[in-house]
Amino acid sequence: MVVAFQGEPGAYSEAAAQRFAPGADVLPCPSFEEVFRTVETGTAALGVLPIENSIGGTIHRNYDLLLEHALRIVGDLELRVVHSLIALPGTAIDEIKTIYSHPQALAQCDKYLRSLPGVEVVATYDTAGSAKLIKDRQLKGAAAIASERAAAVFELAVLESGIQDFSDNITRFLVVAPASAAADPQPTNKTTVVFTLANEAGALFRALSVFALRGIHLTKLESRPIPGRPWEYLFYLDLAVGAEDPRCDRALAHLAEFAPMLRNLGSYASTLLPRSTAAASTVAAGDRA
């Protein structure tokens, strides 16, 4: 089985892919769009994509892509993000003039970066890709913020580890598969949907009430602008209930009565870590990774 992820080898998303499907072949892709296309065309059976970080927030582009492509969510997982400052061997921290990394990683290390006066911060497409850039170009006086695995892959030195602003730095990933893929036989316990509402008083209250009335816990609510329709929004919602639970179908049927558009993006067996465990996890992985 092939699992696609965005980034270079050593990226945090690669670690998430390996954790979700141990032993699978992993396929690096240059962009999130390419991950979706790779799964949609059957080149990969699954795609692993970061969707939100406990410090940096939501990766909005992946919410948009979920709606643009005919894929369904088949799982999710959380991994702890441990960022390191890495550079060519023999480099000292006081020699660093430029630091490269993905914007989410830079945001997650904001306090650390502000403690390095005079250092230029450059955003790139990927954390591990930043490490590769330094290796390929032999950039002296430059460093990347990436994982320790990226340092090992590209034969770089770890100058400092754990430089993220908060130790509880966790990224949640979604796992996507073709809509036509066979359903996993294991019971599901989570459902993700997207819907629109009329722009009128009480519309969102009525939408959320269909779940409250049935005792369905909501674990995530995200709004996204609808392109070409100013000030109108899509609502993405995670329900702590699977397709086997009759409350799920009843709530969604109720919502469909007044939601102009409603799409079920997938019911799946969530593998999220308990909050007390997630923060203590020793697996280094993270956003866009």
Catalytic residues: 171, 173
| 8 A C-beta contact, residue 289 and residue 59 | no
Instruction: Work out the burial of residue 13: count CB atoms within 10 Å of its CB; fewer than 13 is exposed, 13-18 middle, 19 or more buried.
Output: buried
The greatest distance separating any two alpha carbons of the chain, rounded to the nearest whole angstrom, comes to: 65
- Tell me which residue of 104, 97, 260 sits closest to 170, measured CA to CA: 104
Instruction: Work out the burial of residue 236: count CB atoms within 10 Å of its CB; fewer than 13 is exposed, 13-18 middle, 19 or more buried.
Output: buried
φ, ψ for residue 150, nearest 5 deg? -60, -40
| 8 A C-beta contact, residue 278 and residue 80 | yes
Cα distance between residue 173 and residue 242, in whole Å: 18
